[in-house]
Structure 1
Amino acid sequence: MEARRGYESFGGRAAEFVSESTPWWPARAQAAPGAPNVIVMLVDDLGFSDLGPFGSEIPTPNVDRIADDGWVFTNYRTAPMCSPARAALLTGLNPHRAGFGYVAHTDPGYPGFTCELPADAPTLAESLRAGGYATFMVGKWHLTLESRLHDAADRSSWPLQRGFDRYFGSMDGFTSLHHPHRLVRDNSVVDVQEFAEDYFLTDQLVEESLGMIDELRVNDTRKPFFLYFAHTSVHGPIQAKRVDIDRHRGRYEAGWNALREARFARQRELGIVPQHASLPSEALSDCDRIPEWDSLEAAERELFARHMEVYAAAVDEVDQSLGRLMAQLEQLGELDNTIIVLTSDNGGTAEGGSSGTRSYFAQFGVSTHLPNDWVRDVPRDPELIGGPQLFSQYPVGWARVSNTPFRSFKSSTYEGGVHAPLIVSWPSAPARARGLRDQFVFVSDLAPTILELAGVAPLTRRDGVPAQDPDGRSVVDVLENPSAEGRETQYFECVGRRALVDGDWKAVSPVPPTRAEGGAGGSWELYNLATDPTETQDLAETYPVRTLELAERWREEAWHNAVFPLDDDGSLHTTRPASEAAFAEPVTLVPFRPPLERFRSAQLTVLRSFRVEIDLTVRDGGAGVLLAHGDQGGGYLLALDGGSLLLSYNAYGDMHRARGAALGSGAHEITLRVDELPELRWRLSLEVDGVPDAVIERVPMLLGMAPFTGISVGYDYGGPVDWELHQRHRSYRLTGAEIERICVVPGARSRHDTTVLRSIGEAVAEIAD
């Protein structure tokens, strides 16, 4: 064991990259007569208490309906982050064995962090399709490396290659609901250059789902279907429709302290939490960053309440989407024979910070240290929260309400990060005792359970090799018998934070160990979940031997599940394959095509200086966008407007504009230079035919996942960079001028960019040394 210990921490070691899988299509069978339809509805970042059956004040009548005639699981746990939970749900494997020790925005090369589903792990969709099901998916995929989302990428990890007949949605981790940054249908990007003013993505996901079902039934009235509906709500930026927001106006004026107490009281009445449970208080409930509601200024209370009204509207819209699907199935006479599984991928998130934000990308996904004067929440009218002009996230005080009664949040291995709602419904199932279930169920148990309920055997081979044995087990016996036993043991890990549940006991290590301490080392806490389900009494000092035993048990589970190396020095997720260096080469773009994909665009501009070279021929009356990169969350735009060049820069909601001199007819060489300045700032300058034309001095650099919408040429796709320009011209398609050539030329990387590119040969050589 000592010989392996060095690999338990990253410690700056080089990565060894795995080869990509090849597509494989299993043979289809005919489903058994009367086989049930299956709908899995997964909601993003939904807290344990956010649905009516789990104590929420948010009206969720459709969720209530399936809960009243189904099974409500009070002891269901998932992974602490979204991609790992999705991988486990679809494969029945533990997250790291499924390749997802982290979300699909990392690529250090280790087996537990490939961020690609294993070639020898059949998905739930693949098994059901082989068993005679039609397989549909809408919404968030988030199971493909971000470097393989562009239009020339290997698609072996895209939904259709992993078992789905039809797909529509956003393959990235999230998107704007009013102006999605990129939509994919099946294997191709959707070429839509302008969205309607009342467009809303959740509505389209429902329409696409209904259309898939209708088209199946027109052609085959008997074939069962599997629909995986992966909501983009309620992940940030939290957005909702105005009519739904208005319905929740005034609901949260009492504040987060009172709402948390009210939810906890309802949970005890409903039996969702035991009567002896206590609500974590003081430091255990993050009181250091969550002020008492009554201590806030009136303007703060108004702003923060508005954030929660929008969040409630988003949850309301999830319920409405379920209702529309149920109504369609009821009309078809198929609702009773449809299994519905509704859950969340992890706990509610604290990424909004103490005050929430109206400038989501000013802090989300930013890995570098920010200057002291960095503005994380550009002030704007609270009435705009939830609408298309703002990318917002609610304050951590409301996230604590979402996770009632548990402590901590998404990405934590405390219960607030991993304890989620789960409801299973199947009205025509054989007579079984429905109602509450308090058995421990983990996300990897869902696929085996669904397959058994559907009467479909899991595939035993994929890609020409034997399939991995699943880690999950069917819990059909738990549905049938309230006294049946649930899961006994499960490990958890996220960015070095560790935990192990073993029976009534849970060991938690909230910070990564040092390399010297090893995988079982560092600081551990111990809780008895039978007597203290909300983790309020650390018993590690009382039971030191048991704590050490559970820590060592976690280490054994970690080796079995490819959890190592741990990110002990913060460098695991900054190491990436050298093949990505090609993304930082100059790119010549084509006007009027769908935007260059988000990650591909970012490699040209983020944490670096760059320039854009444009050869433009102007006729009389020429006008429109030359290039746009980003949206209301942050971006830059260059347009021919009113006879001159307009340069717009959106610094996370703070607008800057500069105009050049009149641009006459004829051919012109235009250069936009974006140069890095100290303190993570940029200077933007324009040259026309070699002569300086306009400048925007010293603005905050766009970081992390901003600009979020990729580069569009000849129009401003989707969410506009400059809202005022959008109000006058919408996407402002270029007319009266021709872009003869447009090229984005990346400059030197910023010293703030900590990315390390490794090639396979170098990685193997370093490990050998």
Structure 2
Amino acid sequence: MSSQPNVLLILNDDMGYSDIGCYGGEVDTPNLNRLAAHGLRFSQFYNTARCSPTRASLLTGLHPHQTGVGILVDDDGPEGYAGNLNERCVTIAEALKDHGYRTYMSGKWHVATDIFNPNDTWPRQRGFDRYYGIITGAADYFQPVTLTRDNDNAEHEALAEDFYLTDAISDDAARNIREHAAAGPDRPFFQYVAYTAPHWPLHAPEEDIAKYKGRFDEGWDVLREQRLQRLVELGLVDASWALSERDPSQPAWENAEDKEWRLRRMEVYAAQIDRMDQGIGRIVRALEETGQLDNTLILFLADNGGCAEELDEPFTAFLKKRRSLLEKAKDGSPIAYGNGPGVLPGSQRTYQSYGVAWANLSNAPFRLYKHWVHEGGISTPLIAHWPAGIHEQGGIRHSPGQLTDIMATVLEATGAPYPQTYRGRDILPLEGESLVPLFASDDRDRRPLFWEHEGNGAVRVGRWKLVRNYPDAWELYDIEADRTEQRDLAAALPEKAKELRELYEQWAARAGVIPREKILDLYAKARGEEASGATHFIRK
């Protein structure tokens, strides 16, 4: 057996900071809890606030704009916004494959503009020996479009009556691990597992949904308070931080209408996470039963904060235009698209999201959601488990980090070099810093952290964070004293705000961030309209 560690990288989709059990949530996640209890949890790790940019950054160790995925996989204009992984970056799979690793991927790709025709931005062409999953960003869990095996369409596999995408992803990853061991593991492996759960649509097996009946009946106001208390007790947040206010667009739970429908939405969402955790348990058992668990670095995190998107008619029309939706379920029934209390979600005959108020719970105690770079949009759980390399069990690390650090961590743990060139192409320098030193102790100084998505920008240097909700003014927070971003200090500390703004502008120029106004102008010209700089472009 190889002395080099295997790497199991698990990413889930649209899950908030405090949903899973070991981060204070109500969802039953015994397998993730076990990994946390025998490994480390990071309290201040960050993603990039959106699906595609996170995947691009995670895979390459670069900021998303540098990879060609500045917004999503749509072609949104100039270089940096083409929606495809470009040739200036190298993936973890490519770097590890050149270092003698076998490379496998199971799950959601979502960093290619063309989701139907194999091309040089698909997984097999970006370093993976095997691939099984969906190329697109979201799909029916019972019958997903773009289901692909290697480079071949595999949608026929989803016609089986018992097909469920989360299970298929889990079982493919477990199979890869077992087959790798059976072949004689003289080479280590890299297995990337990219779940779609719990991204909309709200689809889950009925037995999992039933488990959560009554679990959320106290409503989002009480549950947000309870989550904050548990997070404090777990040592993940500071007791002095105030709970962010309930989203002003949402009613108090006691005044909310259609409670049966609202509760069902959260129950299905929880069931999606629960089913994912069950699959993670099967993957870990495959490692145990093949004698590979101790020397496997496992990393688990989420791609952005909880998603407040409401599925209305314009949004579903956009999805249909992308050929992402089916007309009928497998049993021939019509599918009811869009949120509305007349239909309870869960089955394939529905297509809904859980909405603003529950996303507000998912991201407790923080502000805002996916799309935004306030703490609710970018804060993720991060669990690291590696018996051969992490000796503390159940520890918490408060040092901040972000997605660009994942590749640096994997490379240091495996001894693989980061290339200056790849296949004759010049590669941009790695942006991240390895987390491996933090496996031993929680003590490091690091470079500033930066974010930009749809004009929402932020920079964090130590305790200070400058952030804006585009096109509003920049806000300044002392994250050590006020991580829930309740007290804006920009007016009181203008010199500190100016200092951080200058750092942000320097980074934005270097990373290829295009001012939001120019992007909006491109959108407007494409539609034959005049640009409106005040539009915050979110597909809802």
Q: TM-score, normalised by structure 1?
A: 0.64
Give the structure 2 partner of residue 508 of structure 1.
467
Distance in structure 2 (CA, Å) of the matches to 1:268 and 1:191: 45
**Greater strand content:** 1
Structure with higher Rg: it is 1
- The one-character-per-residue Cα deviations of 1:251-291 (angstroms, maximum 9, x if unpaired) are 1111111111111110000011011111012xxx422x110
Aligned with residue 415 of structure 2, among 450, 455, 477: 455
Give the structure 1 partner of residue 281 of structure 2.
323
Distance in structure 1 (CA, Å) of the matches to 2:385 and 2:519: 45
Superposition deviation, residue 76 in structure 1: 0.3
Give the structure 2 partner of residue 231 of structure 1.
195
Superposition deviation, residue 755 in structure 1: 9.2
Secondary structure at the counterpart of residue 210 of structure 1: helix
Aligned with residue 111 of structure 1, among 79, 84, 89: 79
Aligned with residue 270 of structure 2, among 312, 331, 339: 312
Aligned with residue 11 of structure 2, among 39, 42, 51: 42
Are 1:301 and 2:267 matched, yes or no? no
Superposition deviation, residue 457 in structure 1: 1.9
Give the structure 2 partner of residue 81 of structure 1.
50
- The one-character-per-residue Cα deviations of 1:438-489 (angstroms, maximum 9, x if unpaired) are 001110000110111122222332130332211111121111112233x341
Contact 2:216 2:266 in 1 (8 A): yes
Secondary structure at the counterpart of residue 41 of structure 1: strand
CA RMSD between the two structures: 2.3
Aligned with residue 495 of structure 1, among 428, 451, 454: 454
Distance in structure 1 (CA, Å) of the matches to 2:138 and 2:225: 31
Secondary structure at the counterpart of residue 167 of structure 1: strand
Change (3 A) 1:97 1:330: same
Look up the equivalent residue of 2:103 and give its one-letter code: T
Which runs of structure 2 are paired with 1:300-699 in the superposition (5 Å)? 300-352=258-310, 361=316, 377-382=339-344, 385-429=345-389, 431-432=391-392, 435-485=395-445, 487-512=446-471, 523-567=473-517, 570-573=520-523
Change (3 A) 1:197 1:342: same
Look up the equivalent residue of 2:49 and give its one-letter code: P
**Greater helix content:** 2
Contact 1:433 1:482 in 2 (8 A): no
Are 1:175 and 2:145 matched, yes or no? no
Contact 1:237 1:360 in 2 (8 A): no
Change (3 A) 1:429 1:193: closer
Distance in structure 2 (CA, Å) of the matches to 1:341 and 1:269: 24
Look up the equivalent residue of 2:473 and give its one-letter code: S
Sequence identity (%): 36
Which runs of structure 2 are paired with 1:122-161 in the superposition (5 Å)? 122-145=90-113, 148-151=114-117, 155-161=119-125
Change (3 A) 1:149 1:363: closer
Distance in structure 2 (CA, Å) of the matches to 1:342 and 1:319: 11
Secondary structure at the counterpart of residue 412 of structure 2: helix
Are 1:286 and 2:247 matched, yes or no? yes
Superposition deviation, residue 181 in structure 1: 1.7
Kindly indicate whether structure 1 or structure 2 has the higher relative contact order, using CA contacts under 8 Å at least 6 residues apart.
2
- The one-character-per-residue Cα deviations of 1:736-756 (angstroms, maximum 9, x if unpaired) are xxxxxxxxxxxxxxxxx5599
Change (3 A) 1:562 1:55: same
Distance in structure 1 (CA, Å) of the matches to 2:524 and 2:99: 41
Superposition deviation, residue 547 in structure 1: 1.4
Give the structure 1 partner of residue 20 of structure 2.
51
- The one-character-per-residue Cα deviations of 1:479-514 (angstroms, maximum 9, x if unpaired) are 1112233x34122111111111121111112113xx
Q: What are structure 2's unaligned runs of at least 5 residues?
A: 323-336, 531-540
Distance in structure 2 (CA, Å) of the matches to 1:111 and 1:490: 22
Change (3 A) 1:365 1:72: farther
Secondary structure at the counterpart of residue 96 of structure 1: helix
Superposition deviation, residue 380 in structure 1: 3.3
Distance in structure 2 (CA, Å) of the matches to 1:129 and 1:186: 16
Distance in structure 2 (CA, Å) of the matches to 1:236 and 1:144: 20
Q: TM-score, normalised by structure 2?
A: 0.91
Distance in structure 2 (CA, Å) of the matches to 1:276 and 1:96: 36
Give the structure 1 partner of residue 327 of structure 2.
none
Distance in structure 2 (CA, Å) of the matches to 1:256 and 1:366: 35
Contact 1:253 1:302 in 2 (8 A): no
Distance in structure 1 (CA, Å) of the matches to 2:371 and 2:491: 26
Change (3 A) 1:78 1:569: closer
Contact 2:307 2:355 in 1 (8 A): no
Superposition deviation, residue 394 in structure 1: 0.5
- The one-character-per-residue Cα deviations of 1:138-172 (angstroms, maximum 9, x if unpaired) are 11000111xx2233x5x111101100000011000
Q: What are structure 1's unaligned runs of at least 5 residues?
A: 1-31, 368-374, 513-521, 577-752, 757-769
Which runs of structure 2 are paired with 1:136-285 in the superposition (5 Å)? 136-145=104-113, 148-151=114-117, 155-190=119-154, 192=156, 195-281=159-245, 285=246
Contact 2:116 2:146 in 1 (8 A): no
